């Protein structure tokens, strides 16, 4: 398996710059997660955006779709902010012959007790096991984006029933 | 999805007792990993053994197979020592109508920089995405146990070529 | 030794609330640090403020001074934002018969790789070893507040030479 | 301040080698702790022994004493196993004109939730604040070695009363 990882920003990549005492989207954390887990597959990481997903525009989503369509890999993992992850997943529907899994985290990857490492693991397990299509991997579950949402009250992803 | 988790010991569950200054197999760490990742699926955790996998006997493997056969869940995750994970996976072959994924870690789950959280994530992603059968999830890859091994030199799992 | 811990906010207590995707000053982290280190001395923790230290006013500093003067303990540790830690320390000068050590961190205590645990350790070591007076403990050093500053370029505390 | 750090092994430096599935004393962890805390003082680290402190001999203690006497620094921090830390401290009594602080940890520095970072912080705070003499820094307290012991029941250091 060769995996194409596209990073777009979001909570998962938030870091803290003390000089200005502000949190901002930093370097893609997925590289550090892969290194620590000593993953045994080939991958490329492409940083396409560094945005809070609430600030993501329709043009940003088209850019992500273009990068996906241009990829030579059949298996694509996208790290993304959680607030509009479903929208970006829906904007990728119809991409042929590729298994695409979006993931992110509720707590920055740099935090103790973050969900980022587990979520990236889940996405990696799913992306190599599923047929072509677009999926979300959050809270240990693999979702169909058309039937899922982020619940603000419960602060997790859930199926729309 | 309801997931049946069977724990058998191994490095993943190693803890350190200072009073005796010894490392021993402790409580199943998968519970703490699931709690921290705030997983959104139902699960039961059953601690069947607490052994280094090098000490595992044929009788132990039959016990694990019995617990798997007795399970009411279609999806089963087994945490296991890495040294004989392949053997236990092979001893589970032919179990009908269940997707079974074995995982473990090279560094204890309690260590900074452990691979346990990522590996359990990968196993969770794979177990809900794959058809019935027995699989290993290690180093971010999902293996057919009949075609994989732990490489002692490279200290990772690899395909037999 | 009985230690009076006064918390005022700052980077050390920053947490991340995903629902709003904002970092804010949260609960005092010193309690969690003491618990994890299994400290063997008596202490009380008093949360006096929850502010970025850049937003701290002269009235806030008077409040801290009042709480210090009202304390029945001879040894006082204050957690504080780094940007105006020196100013608050200077505002405490002349308090009689108390050893007062201020500390904080450049990275939130909740981050992997934070300096908070080490800095609180340094402050605890210093506060029980020094004669009455006001001190800063940062970057593994114990400073006289009248002769130290936070260097924004080097992002650490240093002596004024 | 220039600090001479002498490392002797003990739980604080325990690492886990999966190939053999054994825990052993590894590289001095104090360097990593200093790096992460971005300490602002000069230091040298000298690895004198790599032993469980239960295996330490009288000759080992003489070696440590020789290294201390040969040091050009006035402030010396020694990392050491906890079981015989008191004995080594007593073997250093009478060393003139040096402030010597011994510390270690109940859980390896590489573990999540270790006490190593805090303890090294406490020792660093104490070593630069105290007059010449030999001290232990454990559980957030600075002890006179002649009046302290490790309690096996309570798994912490305490005063002899």
pLDDT digits (tens, 9 = 90+) for A81-129: 999 999 999 999 999 999 999 999 999 999 999 999 999 999 999 999 9
Q: What is the CA radius of gyration of chain A?
A: 15
B140's tokens: 């971010």
Q: Is the pLDDT of residue D19 over 60?
A: no
- DSSP code of C1? -
| Model pTM score | 0.92
What is the C-alpha to C-alpha distance for residues D66 and D88, in angstroms, rounded to an integer? 12
Q: Is the pLDDT of residue A22 over 80?
A: no
Instruction: Report residue D8: phi and psi, to 5°.
Output: -130, 0
Tell me the per-residue pLDDT of D109-123, one tens digit each, with 9 for 90 and over: 999 999 999 999 999
Q: Is the pLDDT of residue D68 over 80?
A: yes
Answer yes or no: are the C-beta atoms of B49 and B34 closer than 8 Å: no
Tell me the per-residue pLDDT of B102-115, one tens digit each, with 9 for 90 and over: 999 999 999 999 99
- Residue C59 pLDDT class (50, 70, 90 cuts): very high
The chains found to touch B (3+ Cβ pairs under 8 angstroms) are A, D
Cβ of D16 and B14 within 8 Å?
Answer: yes
Residue of chain A nearest B158, judged by CA positions: A40
Residue of chain B nearest A111, judged by CA positions: B36
What does the pLDDT read at residue A20?
61
Answer yes or no: are the C-beta atoms of A31 and C41 closer than 8 Å: no
When scoring B10, B104, B110 by the number of chain D Cβ atoms within 10 A, the one with the most, hence best to mutate, is B110
Q: What is the mean pLDDT of chain B?
A: 94
Tell me the per-residue pLDDT of D33-63, one tens digit each, with 9 for 90 and over: 999 999 999 999 999 999 999 999 999 999 9
Cβ of B129 and A130 within 8 Å?
Answer: yes
Q: Is the pLDDT of residue A18 over 70?
A: no
CA torsion sign, B17 to B22 to B24 to B29? Answer: positive
What is the C-alpha to C-alpha distance for residues A89 and D92, in angstroms, rounded to an integer? 66
Cβ of D21 and B108 within 8 Å?
Answer: no
Mean pLDDT (whole number) for B26-52: 95
A-chain CB neighbours of C81 within 8 Å are 21
Nearest-CB residue to B130 (from A39, A129, A141): A129
C104's tokens: 């904080």
What number is the ipTM of this complex? 0.96
**Residue B63 CA to its chain's centroid (Å):** 15
What does the pLDDT read at residue A1?
86
What is the C-alpha to C-alpha distance for residues A113 and A147, in angstroms, rounded to an integer? 28
Any residues with CB less than 8 A from the CB of D35 and at least 6 apart, and which? none
Nearest-CB residue to C41 (from D120, D124, D141): D141
What does the pLDDT read at residue D18?
64
What does the pLDDT read at residue A19?
57
Q: Is the pLDDT of residue D152 over 80?
A: yes
Q: Is C100 on the interface with D (CB under 8 A)?
A: no
Q: Is B130 on the interface with A (CB under 8 A)?
A: yes
Q: At what angle do helices B30-37 and B116-127 cross, to 10 degrees?
A: 80
CA distance A88 to chain C (A): 18
Q: What is the mean pLDDT of chain D?
A: 94
Nearest-CB residue to C118 (from D1, D37, D139): D37
- Write down the H helix ranges in B38-106: 58-70, 85-91
Tell me the per-residue pLDDT of C105-118, one tens digit each, with 9 for 90 and over: 999 999 999 999 99
What does the pLDDT read at residue D21?
61
Q: What is the mean pLDDT of chain A?
A: 94
What does the pLDDT read at residue D3?
98
């Amino acid at each position: 398996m060769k995996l194409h990882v596209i990073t777009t920003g979001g909570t998962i990549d938030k870091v803290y710059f003390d000089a200005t005492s502000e949190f901002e989207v930093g370097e893609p954390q997925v590289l550090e997660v892969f290194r620590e887990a000593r993953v045994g597959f080939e991958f490329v990481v492409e940083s396409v955006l560094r945005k809070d997903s609430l600030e993501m525009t329709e043009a940003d989503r088209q850019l992500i779709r273009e990068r996906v369509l241009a990829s030579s890999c059949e298996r694509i993992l996208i790290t993304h902010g959680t607030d509009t992850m479903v929208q970006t997943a829906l904007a990728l529907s119809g991409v042929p012959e590729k298994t695409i899994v979006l993931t992110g985290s509720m707590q920055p990857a740099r935090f103790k007790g973050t969900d980022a490492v587990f979520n990236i693991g889940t996405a990696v397990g799913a992306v190599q096991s599923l047929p072509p299509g677009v999926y979300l991997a959050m809270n240990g579950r693999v979702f169909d984006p058309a039937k899922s949402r982020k619940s603000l009250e419960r602060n997790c992803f859930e199926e729309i029933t």
